[in-house]
C-alpha cells in the first residue's frame, strides 16, 4: 500500500482543473450497455473504479478503448455472458448497476451481492423491490442475486429512502421496459440528472430527473451517441475545503457552481470568501474560523461524501461544531485518525462533536476514499509531517490528487 507524506503548507495558489464526475461516469457506463451501438463518453476521469467497470464490460462481451485521455468509447453489440464476475464486482459497489442492462438485454442476470463496506451496511433491498415491481423474478442465495424476466414492464415505485444507486438502477431498467414507470421519493442528485440526460440522448424518454418523482416511458431501441460527463462536485468540494483551510488564492475551473451550492452555503456561514463565475469559483484567504453545525442529507442537502472533509475543516476552527451523519450508519472511521493528529472530536451515535484544536502531523491510515482525502487536508495544516497510508483508496476517486495539490503549492510526496 502506498502513502502520501505531507508537510504543513503556508499558501495555496493557482488553478485546479476539476475532472469528470466518478459517480456520474459509473452509472452512465452501466446505462451505455443498454445500446448495441458505439457510445463515446467525454470528460471521463481516469480512475481505478472506471477501469474496474470497464473490465466488467469486457467480461460481458463488450469492447472499450480510450480514444483520448478523457474520451472513452464503449461497444457491446451482443451480451455474451450474464454472470458478473465476483472479483471485479466486489471491488466497487456501483458495479451492481450492471444488473439492469444485462437483465434488459439478456433476460436474466447473476450478480454477486455487493457486500458490506466500511461506511455502513448498505443493503440493496430498494433496488430489488423496484425490479420485482417491474416483473423480475428474483432469487437470492450463496452470496448471489439471480433475476429473470424476458421483458420488464413499467410500474409505480415508491422508494422508502431516496437511494442514489436504486434510483439509477431502476431508471436504466425502466428506459427499455414495456410502458410507463413512475419512481417516487427518488434521488435528485446531479448525477441522476446526468444519467437521465445521457439516456435521453440515446433516445430514452425520461422526464423530471432532478425532482423527487421521475417518469420514464420505455422505448424499444436506443442509439449511438456522444456525451460529456458533468464535473466532479466532490472533487471540487475537496479543493474548495483545502482552499479555506490554508491561506490561499485558488480558482477551481470546469465546475458547475450550482452543484456545490450546499457546500458553499455552509462554508460562507463560517466566513469563507468564495466568488463564483459561470464555470469556476475563486477562494481567497484562510477562513477566519468560527464553528457551525452540519447535517448530511440527500441532495440538495449537505452531501455525505463531504462529511469527513468538512470534519477536517471544522477541527481547525474555533469553538464547538456538530456534524450529524444521517445517510450512512458507520461513516466516522476517519475520526480516530484525525484525533491521532491532535483533533478533539467525540462521537455520540451519529453525531460528531468537534472542538477546535491545533493539529500535529502523525502517521494515519485512509479507511475509505473520502476519509483519506480528509486526512490529506488535515496534513496540509498540521504542524510537522503527516504520513497518510492506504492511498489506493484515495486514488479510487481523485485523479492525480497529489499532482493537483502540488501544482497549487502543497508539499506532498507520493511513495508507491
Q: How far, in Å, CA of 90 to CA of 95, rounded?
A: 8
Question: Under the criterion CB under 6 A, does residue 246 sit at the interface with ligand UD1?
Answer: no
352-411 residues in contact with ligand UD1 (CB under 6 A) are none
Q: How far is the CB of 141 from ligand UD1 (least distance, A)?
A: 18
Please report how many Cα atoms fall inside a 13 Å half-sphere around the Cα of residue 70, on the Cβ side: 16
Number of residue whose CB is nearest ligand UD1: 165
CB of 287 to ligand UD1, least distance (A): 24
**Among 23, 88, 251, 395, contact with ligand UD1 (rule: CB under 6 A):** 23
Q: Which of 10, 14, 8 is nearest to 403 (CA)?
A: 14
Asked if 140 interacts with ligand UD1 (CB under 6 A), we say no
Using CB under 6 A as the criterion, what x/- string covers residues 308-327 for binding ligand UD1? -------------------x
Instruction: Evaluate whether 97 touches 169 at the Cβ level (below 8 Å).
Output: yes
- Minimum CB distance to ligand UD1, residue 163 (Å): 3
| Subset of residues 104 to 133 that bind ligand UD1, contact rule: CB under 6 A | 120-127
How far is Cα 75 from Cα 37, in angstroms, rounded to an integer? 6
CA dihedral 213, 202, 83, 26 (to 10 degrees): -70
Q: How many residues bind ligand UD1 (CB under 6 A)?
A: 22
Q: Does 164 bind ligand UD1 (CB under 6 A)?
A: yes
From candidates 78, 87, 161, 318, binder to ligand UD1 by CB under 6 A:
161
User: How many whole angstroms separate alpha carbon 206 and alpha carbon 34?
Assistant: 15
CB of 367 to ligand UD1, least distance (A): 14
* 117 belongs to the catalytic site: yes
Query: What would you measure as the largest C-alpha separation in the chain, in angstroms?
Result: 62
- Given the residues 35, 73, 117, 186, the one annotated as active site: 117
Among 18, 94, 103, 283, binds ligand UD1 (CB under 6 A): 94
Whichever of 2 and 115 has its CB closer to ligand UD1, that residue is: 115
Taking Cα atoms as reference points, which of 68, 117, 111, 18 lies closest to residue 397? 18
Q: Smallest distance from the beta carbon of 308 to ligand UD1, in angstroms? A: 11
* 90-95 own/partner pairs: CB under 8 Å, 24+ apart: 90/114, 90/115, 91/49, 91/52, 92/26, 92/49, 92/52, 92/53, 92/396, 93/117, 93/122, 93/165, 94/23, 94/26, 94/27, 94/30, 94/49, 94/53, 94/165, 95/26, 95/52, 95/53, 95/56
**Does residue 328 interact with ligand UD1 by CB under 6 A?**
yes
* Contacting range for ligand UD1; rule: CB under 6 A; set: 80-88, 139-147, 164-172, 405-413: 164-172
CB of 220 vs ligand UD1, minimal distance in Å: 28
Interface region with ligand UD1, contact rule CB under 6 A, candidates 2-10, 162-170, 211-219, 353-361: 162-170
**Alpha helix locations (H) across 142-254?**
164-175, 190-201, 233-245
Strands ordered across the beta sheet of 293-295: 293-295, 320-324, 351-355, 344-348
Residue among 190 and 218 whose Cβ is closer to ligand UD1 = 190
Catalytic residue numbers read 117
In the complex, which residues of this chain contact ligand UD1 (CB under 6 A)? 23, 26, 93-94, 120-127, 161, 163-166, 191, 304-305, 327-328
Amino acid at each position: 500500500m502506498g502513502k502520501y507524506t505531507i508537510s504543513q503548507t503556508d499558501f495555496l495558489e493557482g488553478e485546479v482543473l476539476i475532472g469528470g464526475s466518478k459517480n456520474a461516469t459509473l452509472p452512465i457506463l452501466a446505462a451505455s450497455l443498454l445500446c448495441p451501438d458505439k457510445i463515446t463518453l467525454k470528460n471521463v476521469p481516469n480512475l481505478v473504479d472506471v477501469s474496474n467497470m470497464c473490465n466488467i464490460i469486457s467480461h460481458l462481451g463488450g469492447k472499450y478503448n480510450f480514444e483520448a485521455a478523457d474520451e472513452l468509447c464503449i461497444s457491446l453489440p451482443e451480451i455474451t455472458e450474464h454472470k458478473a464476475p465476483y472479483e471485479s464486482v466486489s471491488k466497487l459497489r456501483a458495479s451492481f448497476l450492471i444488473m439492469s442492462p444485462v437483465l434488459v438485454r439478456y433476460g436474466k442476470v447473476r450478480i454477486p451481492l455487493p457486500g458490506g463496506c466500511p461506511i455502513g451496511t448498505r443493503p440493496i433491498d430498494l433496488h430489488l423491490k423496484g425490479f420485482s415491481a417491474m416483473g423480475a423474478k428474483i432469487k437470492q442465495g450463496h452470496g448471489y442475486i439471480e433475476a429473470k424476466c424476458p421483458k420488464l414492464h413499467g410500474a409505480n415505485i415508491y422508494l422508502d429512502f431516496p437511494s442514489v444507486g436504486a434510483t439509477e438502477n431502476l431508471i436504466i431498467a425502466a428506459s427499455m421496459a414495456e410502458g410507463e414507470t413512475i419512481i417516487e421519493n427518488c434521488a435528485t442528485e446531479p448525477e441522476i440528472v446526468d444519467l437521465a440526460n445521457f439516456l435521453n440522448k440515446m433516445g430514452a424518454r425520461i422526464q423530471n430527473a432532478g425532482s423527487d418523482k421521475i417518469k420514464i416511458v420505455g422505448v424499444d431501441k436506443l442509439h449511438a451517441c456522444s456525451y460529456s460527463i458533468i464535473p466532479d462536485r466532490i472533487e471540487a468540494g475537496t479543493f474548495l475545503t483545502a482552499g479555506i483551510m490554508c491561506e490561499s488564492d485558488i480558482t477551481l475551473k470546469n465546475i458547475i457552481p450550482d452543484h456545490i451550492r450546499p457546500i458553499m452555503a455552509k462554508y460562507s456561514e463560517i466566513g469563507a470568501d468564495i466568488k463564483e463565475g459561470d464555470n469556476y469559483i475563486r477562494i481567497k484567504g484562510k477562513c477566519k474560523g468560527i464553528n457551525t453545525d452540519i447535517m448530511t442529507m440527500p441532495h440538495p442537502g449537505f452531501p455525505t461524501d463531504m462529511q469527513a472533509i468538512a470534519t477536517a475543516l471544522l477541527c481547525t476552527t474555533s469553538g464547538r461544531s456538530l456534524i450529524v451523519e444521517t445517510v450512512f450508519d458507520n461513516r466516522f472511521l476517519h475520526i480516530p485518525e484525525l484525533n491521532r493528529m491532535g483533533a478533539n472530536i467525540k462521537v455520540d451515535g451519529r453525531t460528531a462533536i468537534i472542538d477546535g484544536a491545533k493539529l500535529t502531523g502523525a502517521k494515519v491510515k485512509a479507511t475509505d476514499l473520502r476519509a483519506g482525502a480528509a486526512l490529506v487536508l488535515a496534513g496540509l495544516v498540521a504542524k510537522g509531517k503527516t504520513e497518510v497510508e492506504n492511498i489506493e483508496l484515495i486514488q479510487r476517486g481523485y485523479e492525480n490528487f497529489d499532482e493537483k495539490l502540488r501544482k497549487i503549492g502543497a508539499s506532498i510526496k507520493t511513495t508507491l
